[in-house]
Amino acid sequence: MEIAIQSQQRCQVVDITENVQRACKKWGGTGLVQVYSPSTTCGVAVNEKFDPAVRNDILAWLEKAVPHKGAYSHEEGNADAHIKSLVTGNQTCLPVRAGKLLLGRWQGIFFLDFDGPRSRTLWVTFVASSE
């Protein structure tokens, strides 16, 4: 399955929890779901969903740690996006039971674009459990 995303800003955190939950429900199985970004300038992460300020704090910390305008050898102007993707990771794997995504009370799944705005695609795959 695929999830299409259109980021609106250069650096943006997009809540994709409901998109992934719909994919899990459509699958209907028990096992694991992997959400993967085939881009080297994006990330996928599980973090707090309740307070949107956390997303702003994450982006602010990443920008401070890896500034957009740094002394980079990569000349395309997006070297920071590649590094931020390494920091956050480009995939996550989560448990699913009978088509229901299993997350903690405050958790959500987020797509992080560090080189937008762009149209992006996430790949969602499932591994069935023998339970």
Domain count, the chain: 1
pLDDT in tens, 39-61: 999 999 999 999 999 999 999 99
Under 8 Å between Cβ of 19 and 3: yes
- pLDDT at position 113: 98
* C-alpha span between 24 and 94 (Å, rounded): 11
- Give the mean pLDDT of the chain: 95
H helices of the chain, in order, are 17-27, 53-65, 79-88
* C-alpha span between 91 and 88 (Å, rounded): 9
pLDDT at 28 over 90: yes
The structure's pTM equals 0.93
* Residue numbers of the domain that contains 94: 2-128
Q: What is the CATH number of the domain that holds 102?
A: 2.60.120.460
